[in-house]
Amino acid sequence: MAYVIGVDVGGTFTDAVLSDEAGTIVAAKAPSTPPDYSEGVLDVLAVLAGQLGRPVADMLADTHHVAHGTTSSLNALVTGHVPPVGFITTRGHRDSIYIMNVEGRYLGRSPEELQNVLVQGKSHGLIPRRHAWEITERLDRDGTVVVELNEDEARTAIASLLEDGVAAIAVSLLWSFRNPAHERRIRELVAEADPDVFVSLSSEVSPRIREFARSATTIMSTQIGPGLRDYLGGRKALDAERSAAAIRTRIAGPLGLSVEDAAAAIYAIQNAQTGDLLRKAVVEAGHDPREFVLYAFGGAGPAHCAAYAAEVGVREVVVPLGPVASAFSAYGLAASDIVLAAELSDPSAFPMDPVRVEKNFAHLEAQVRDALDRQGVRFGQVDLAREVDMRYSMQLAELATPVSEGPIDAAELGATAARFEQRYAELFGAGSGFREAGIQAITYRVRATGALRFSPGLPEVARASGPDPSHARTGTRPVRLGTGSFTDTAIYDYSKLQAGHVIAGPAVVEVPTTTVVVPGGMSGTVDPLGNLIIITNQESAR
Amino acid sequence: MSMPVPGSEAFSSRPVDPQALAASLPASLPVHTVTREQIDALDPLTYEVIRHRLWSVTEEMGEALKRMSGSPIVTDANDFDFAIGDELGQEVQVGLYNTMLVGAVDLAIYWTLANRAENPGIGEGDMFLCNDPWVGGGLHQNDALVYQPIFCEGKLFAWTSALCHEPDLGGMGLGSFSPAAQDVFSESVPTPPVKVVRDFQLQRDVADLWVRRSRVPMLVGLDLRAQVGANNVGRERLLAVIARYGADTVKAVMKRMMSDAEHRLRAKLSSLPDGTWNATGYQDQSHEGDRSLHKITLAMTKCEDHLTFDFTGTDPQAGVINCTYAGMRGGVMLALLPILAGDIPWSAGGLMRCFDLIAEEGTINNATFPAAVSRGPIGPAWLTGTLVAECLSQMLDRSVDLGRSVQASCCGTWDTAVIAGLDERGPRPLPFLNIMMEPMAGGYGARPHVDGMDTGGLFCIPMGRIPDTEMSEFLYPMLVLWRREEPDSGGPGRQRGGVSASLAVTPRGTSLPIGLVLASAGKAVAQNNGLSGGYPGNTGVEILARGTDLGGMLAAGTMPADLATIGGQQELGQNYSQTYLAPGEVMYMHWQGGGGYGDPLRRDPQAVAADLREGKVTAEAAAVIYGVVTGAGGDVDGGATGQARDRLRRQRRDRAVLDGPAPAGQVDPAAGHRLDDNLVRVLDAGHPVVACAHCGQRLGDPRTGATLALASYEGPSAAAGPQVTSDPAAYVDDPVVFRQYCCPACWTAVYSGIVPAGHADHVRDIGRLIPAVSRPADAARA
């Protein structure tokens, strides 16, 4: 019997899910144990083994692989609990990470904050200037060496950084993604000085054009690379009285509304803004939100999801509530195929040189295959997909455009350009394209999908005899959603629902970890896995 | 100067009475509107939801334009803007990109309604194109506006518009900027509103007419389609909101947004004391070859809930540094929006009801046809905004609460370099033309409680950005030797102005010289003034290094990081010039940082030490401007710092001129009412007098004189510090001086400026601090 185990280390709990070829699924939880999270991992493995009725050692001996994920890196970056790192870049360009293309002042702010220019401030740079060194070297846009790497300067910078006690060094040189030789040489020089120091190269972390984002990504990667630090966590109880008081004094009073009206307004505005953000995120990535199913998880999401899904035009919402839903990140780790991507910026104008394109893809394919091999997992099948980000000449944004398998020739590149133009017209309206301006290919990408040799199924829940969920209904209470008045609304106990039950909105489903709202005019169906599928009706979303 | 052109008056658009405009429309163009009752009946929830929706419509138009545009000015610098207007074009929601355009977009729509409704008509599926700065829409011809009427059930419901700066629309100069132009006939042709889309079809004849004038017709053609596409997005999204909530509800929200903004601004104005504040600023040079100064002067009067901006006394139109009425109005908006309306939604149609403009015709910020206006937005309109900001800051600085919006001047212009040439890096040579975008990384002015933002951008483009160096090098055949923040470029002050950056580039990948047009200001007279004794930020400077051995240096493994290493013959770039940059040569640009706030001798020495560590100031400035001495390891030497500051105060005393003895008597400044960082108003037997906030020295009494008894000093502009990077005599004939006023007792600087010797300032006017006529409410507050 071969097991796959997924372990997700969170701030509060460490979740684990074990699956096997026979379809067995076992989920377990144990408290996380900061600062040494490995204890929590061992604890949860012991719980899993206990559920299997086997010793831990035996279970692990039969385990094919353990997939591990954690939010601690993100937490470390957000809270700034990262070790000091050094940064080495091209002479004349250190300040890129402080100038932040100017937009560091406002990115990610709300409309109200955006227009309140006078209260804005740039965030501090990721690292203090004394840890950011410039060294003499230069490449041009083709990767040609303009100025040779000055190794003495590099050694001086490295020695000074190490003397200052940095835990790791990030290296990001201009155009290094076109020619990584200088970055690699600097890594060798660091190793000569101290072989134990962690080094990240921008040409490996994020080999794409636009140095600010590439440098920032490399620095952050370096900050979390050497080790994980402690992070925040914990649970907070909701105090209804104090919530009402906060709404009364901060919102309801100034607006001349009742607390209930203000709360309803908060709910509706939250839904509208989430909907707008979601639409923007989806549209800006080049997708049509109407083609998506919305997956709503977490503690608060299911209270809002049906309303904002309808705002965005999403017809179907899945609220994961099945037996392993509370450990679904761990399940995902245990059940997922492994997908790796490699990309390479090589800007050129259409028609691109087929030999060069072929070479780019060959390089990327070798890179992702190698990376998959390093996972140490025996895959059932490995699929590779190619794409290239294209745009009309000098556009800022590119559209990811699929490229067919097989040899690259002028005909295939022509077909790729045609696919780009077709997708562009779909997004911005017929006639909005302008081929006369020229087309450029910027970034090449290969995604490799390593399929697991078995795919763990999910356990099904008991099947109901009919759609009527009355026996799970615990009663009614007045509930108000949006502009309407309080309406007597059915309340359901999730633990009593079975597959096939259909809940007509307005209704509230109470789950230990969340509360699901099914607005009036919509319906929710329990699927065989125990998830609640809400079909939205856009007219009744408000 | 050309003679006036009869017939050109018909193209001068001005704000209109909306009722009169609506009444003038033909029966063939019914408009949709709502009643007062419908507006009042809106529930707050629906209002907020739809208001946020309208915001997101302008945002999506912006994203669509950026994705589609072919011009780095749009895609990488965000020099564009959007507006949603009501049925008459009054601006309901504006984008947060180039805010000067807010003052111009509605003017074009008013004009279109007045002049196009009968013939050729305004119908569903139409879009208009306009780049006539007298009609409005944009501030100079490079600003191209594409705007569309949106109909609902056969009635004109609203307008959307998308404006962007085009890299070149013809005329004598590269980038449509001719530094030697004497009138608009040397520039790009101003095109009044033409129907570029009719019945949802782009009109090929009009589109061809449009792109044919340009040196880069492909880019202009792509941008035109991008603007049409952005309007398509706006229309689709707005109609979806209407379909969802109903036309009347949406329109009621639009009207309410404008009236809410208006009422909130009026309430804020009412809470401030009435008075009149003055500011005067300059453009060094009006065109290529000119060596004179040209001033804009402003008297801003606040009376109850209304502002009047009176520009009477501004110099006559000259050279290329002129803007139309739209530019003057846009300049006012660039300052008013963030300073007075940062916390009020930018429903500009409502906000613009709160002020009047007074300006003589034929002046540099209210130019008449056929003045050359290509420098309009970045010259006189921008300066107009800087002066408005200066007056607003004086008004607000006495308020503890609203004083949070006080800000010294930011970078005062767009340091322009148009480049054009042949890119020989690809399989076949390709021409290129564009504007260097890096000068977007200007410094912000300091504020009473915080330093100015370093490379925070330009105040008039809240969401501006600069391209990555790799994008600049990918697009153009050049190598960027450096792009870095420049120490000392932020104006010294108790709070330091934000530093600006500099750029050094050399051609690479072309065998031909790159054509270059330079245009800037603030190289002799400072445009980035400080406040309350804070010093101006750096003067701008461009240097062309010719005859260098750059190729040899690079090959030998040297990457020069300063002008001294680059060597060769170094030419100072004039404000306006047409020149070239040949292979092997280097162009250095250093644009403006922000002004400082308060006296730098009162800056926390620890903050100066931190600035030294982070490269924001040099050791020289720390010593001679801030009087801060650091020891080994960069720590402040407290004793030596105290001595250095005493020495600098004695230097101020030794060089100062006093008109007469300082008024006798000390007051307790703690009992006073704040006027700014250094001055307080105290009551002397029931009468208000002005005193030094630091030492209590009495400085002025309106009963005995109209001026403050301040010690004054005038010296060479370089006396302001190392931020003065060149001799003003290199640019203008008028003498330019560093002028400083200090308290004659404690020698705190209350004003520090780099101005023409003949500059009439109002620093010592008691009237700006204690208005002759106070309202009873003010007297009670004092």
Do residue B339 and residue A118 have CB atoms under 8 angstroms apart? Answer: yes
pTM of the model: 0.86
Residues in A touching B227 (Cβ below 8 Å): none
Q: Say yes or no to pLDDT of A429 above 80.
A: no
Answer whether A30's CB lies under 8 Å from A43's CB.
Answer: yes
Q: Which of A92, A106, A280 shows the shortest C-beta gap to B462?
A: A106
> How many angstroms separate the CA of residue A534 from the nearest CA in chain B?
21
Do residue B554 and residue A129 have CB atoms under 8 angstroms apart? Answer: no
Best of A118, A138, A217, A423 to disrupt the B interface by mutation (most B CBs within 10 Å)? Answer: A118
Q: Which of A106, A210, A428 shows the shortest C-beta gap to B64?
A: A428
What pLDDT shows up at residue B49? 75
Do residue A101 and residue B466 have CB atoms under 8 angstroms apart? Answer: yes
Residues in B touching A396 (Cβ below 8 Å): 66-67, 69, 72, 75-76
User: Residue A288's pLDDT band (boundaries 50, 70, 90)?
Assistant: low
Answer whether B738's CB lies under 8 Å from B702's CB.
Answer: no
B628: CB partners within 8 A, 6+ apart = B603, B605, B608, B609, B622, B636, B641, B644
Do residue B45 and residue A393 have CB atoms under 8 angstroms apart? Answer: no
Token reading at B20: 């009169």
Domain annotation for chain A: domains and CATH numbers: 3-70 (3.30.420.40), 82-229 (3.40.50), 275-329+457-542 (no CATH), 338-451 (3.30.1490)
Q: Say yes or no to pLDDT of A1 above 70.
A: no
Q: Say yes or no to pLDDT of A259 above 60.
A: yes
- DSSP element (H, E) containing A334: helix A328-335
Do residue A269 and residue B59 have CB atoms under 8 angstroms apart? Answer: no
Q: Which of B459, B501, B557 shows the shortest C-beta gap to A99?
A: B501
To the nearest whole percent, how much of chain A has pLDDT over 90? Answer: 44
Residues in A touching B46 (Cβ below 8 Å): 483
Nearest alpha-carbon partner for B751 in B649, B528, B526, B599: B599
| Cis previous bond, B370, omega within 30 | yes
Do residue A115 and residue B508 have CB atoms under 8 angstroms apart? Answer: no
CA separation for the pair B359, A274 (Å, rounded): 46
Do residue B407 and residue A121 have CB atoms under 8 angstroms apart? Answer: no
What pLDDT shows up at residue B698? 94
Residue with tokens 């009869």: B6
CA separation for the pair B347, B551 (Å, rounded): 54
Among the listed ranges A117-121, A187-191, A229-233, B214-218, which one has the minimum average pLDDT value?
Answer: A229-233
CA separation for the pair B31, B212 (Å, rounded): 36
> How many angstroms separate the CA of residue B266 from the nearest CA in chain A?
18
> How many angstroms separate the CA of residue B229 from the nearest CA in chain A?
6
Best of B127, B465, B505, B563 to disrupt the A interface by mutation (most A CBs within 10 Å)? Answer: B465
What pLDDT shows up at residue B454? 97
| Cis previous bond, B4, omega within 30 | no
What pLDDT shows up at residue B780? 43
User: Residue A434's pLDDT band (boundaries 50, 70, 90)?
Assistant: confident
How many C-beta atoms surround the C-beta of residue B132 within 10 A?
26
Task: Work out the angle between the directed axes of helices A211-224 and A72-79 (0-180°, nearest 10).
Answer: 110
Residues in A touching B455 (Cβ below 8 Å): 95, 98-100, 102
Do residue A396 and residue B66 have CB atoms under 8 angstroms apart? Answer: yes
Residue with tokens 């944004």: A397
CA separation for the pair A420, A422 (Å, rounded): 5
Q: Which of A91, A102, A279 shows the shortest C-beta gap to B441?
A: A102
Answer whether B737's CB lies under 8 Å from B647's CB.
Answer: no
Q: How far is CA A297 from CA A107, A513, A520, A524, B742, in A?
A: 26, 10, 21, 15, 64
Q: Helices marked H in B602-718 — which ranges?
A: 605-613, 619-624, 638-655
Token reading at A102: 């100017």
CA separation for the pair B413, B458 (Å, rounded): 8
Do residue B72 and residue A397 have CB atoms under 8 angstroms apart? Answer: no
CA separation for the pair B365, A306 (Å, rounded): 54
Q: How far is CA B652 from CA B118, B536, B648, B751, B754, in A?
A: 69, 18, 6, 13, 16
Q: How far is CA B193 from CA B12, B99, B219, in A?
A: 13, 22, 21
Task: Name the closest residue on chain B to residue A278, using Cα atoms.
Answer: B56
What integer is the mean pLDDT of A213-238?
A: 70
Do residue B483 and residue A96 have CB atoms under 8 angstroms apart? Answer: yes
Residues in A touching B43 (Cβ below 8 Å): 483
User: Residue A285's pLDDT band (boundaries 50, 70, 90)?
Assistant: low
Walking along chain B (782 residues) 10 residues at a time, the average pLDDT comes out as: 84 96 97 96 82 86 85 80 95 90 96 97 97 96 97 97 94 93 94 95 94 93 91 92 93 97 97 94 96 98 97 97 97 96 94 98 97 95 97 91 92 95 92 92 96 95 92 94 98 98 98 96 96 98 97 97 96 96 98 98 98 95 96 92 97 91 84 94 91 95 91 97 95 97 97 97 91 48 42
Token reading at A150: 């000055």
Nearest alpha-carbon partner for B708 in B693, B692, B695, B694: B692
Token reading at B312: 């009477």
User: Could you write out the DSSP letters of every residue in B550-603?
Assistant: HHHHHHTT----SHHHH-SEEEEPPSEEEEEE-TT-EEEEE---PPPBS-GGGS
Best of A99, A129, A389 to disrupt the B interface by mutation (most B CBs within 10 Å)? Answer: A99
ipTM of this complex prediction, to 2 decimal places: 0.94
Strand order in the sheet with B749-756: B711-716, B736-742, B749-756
Q: How far is CA A81 from CA A73, A232, B46, B348, in A?
A: 10, 10, 43, 44
**Residue A347, SS3 per DSSP:** strand
CA separation for the pair B190, B210 (Å, rounded): 11
Residues in B touching A173 (Cβ below 8 Å): none
Cα–Cα–Cα angle for B403, B404, B407, nearest 5°?
85
Residues in A touching B407 (Cβ below 8 Å): 118
Which stretch, A235-239, A333-337, A517-521, B421-425, has highest mean pLDDT?
B421-425
Handedness of CA A188, A193, A196, A201 (dihedral sign): negative
What pLDDT shows up at residue B774? 44
Residues in B touching A102 (Cβ below 8 Å): 440-441, 455-457, 464-466
> How many angstroms separate the CA of residue B10 from the nearest CA in chain A?
34
Q: How far is CA B435 from CA A392, B432, B682, B701, in A?
A: 19, 10, 53, 53
Residues in A touching B405 (Cβ below 8 Å): 118
Do residue A394 and residue B219 have CB atoms under 8 angstroms apart? Answer: yes
Do residue B453 and residue A280 have CB atoms under 8 angstroms apart? Answer: no
Nearest alpha-carbon partner for A445 in A176, A68, A177: A177
Cα–Cα–Cα angle for B429, B431, B436, nearest 5°?
125
How many interchain CB pairs under 8 A, A with B? 234
**Residue B286, SS3 per DSSP:** coil
Q: Which of A90, A114, A431 shows the shortest C-beta gap to B96?
A: A114
Answer whether B680's CB lies under 8 Å from B714's CB.
Answer: no
Q: Which of B64, B71, B440 shows the shortest C-beta gap to A102?
A: B440
Q: Helices marked H in A54-210 — which ranges?
A: 56-61, 72-79, 96-99, 111-115, 151-163, 181-193, 202-205
Do residue A280 and residue B455 have CB atoms under 8 angstroms apart? Answer: no
Do residue B426 and residue A429 have CB atoms under 8 angstroms apart? Answer: no
Q: Which of B470, B475, B479 shows the shortest C-beta gap to A394?
A: B475
The backbone torsions φ and ψ at residue B523, rounded to the nearest 5 degrees and listed phi first, read: -90, -25
Residues in A touching B471 (Cβ below 8 Å): 209-210
Nearest alpha-carbon partner for B188 in B161, B205, B209, B207: B209
Do residue A265 and residue B615 have CB atoms under 8 angstroms apart? Answer: no
Q: Say yes or no to pLDDT of A79 above 90.
A: no
Do residue A395 and residue B470 have CB atoms under 8 angstroms apart? Answer: no
Check residues B716 and A392 and name the one with the higher pLDDT.
B716
Q: Say yes or no to pLDDT of A228 above 50.
A: no
Residues in A touching B70 (Cβ below 8 Å): 392-395, 434, 437
CA separation for the pair B170, A456 (Å, rounded): 66
Q: Helices marked H in A71-200 — which ranges?
A: 72-79, 96-99, 111-115, 151-163, 181-193
The backbone torsions φ and ψ at residue B710, rounded to the nearest 5 degrees and listed phi first, read: -110, 150
Token reading at A249: 């004094």
User: Could you write out the DSSP letters of every residue in B402-455?
Assistant: GGGG-------S--EEEEEEEE-SSSS-EEEEEE--GGG-PPPPP-SSSPPPTT
Q: Which of A111, A429, A437 shows the shortest C-beta gap to B232?
A: A429
Among the listed ranges A27-36, A215-224, B54-63, B570-579, which one has the minimum average pLDDT value?
Answer: A27-36
Nearest alpha-carbon partner for B90 in B290, B307, B350: B350
> How many angstroms separate the CA of residue B394 from the nearest CA in chain A?
16
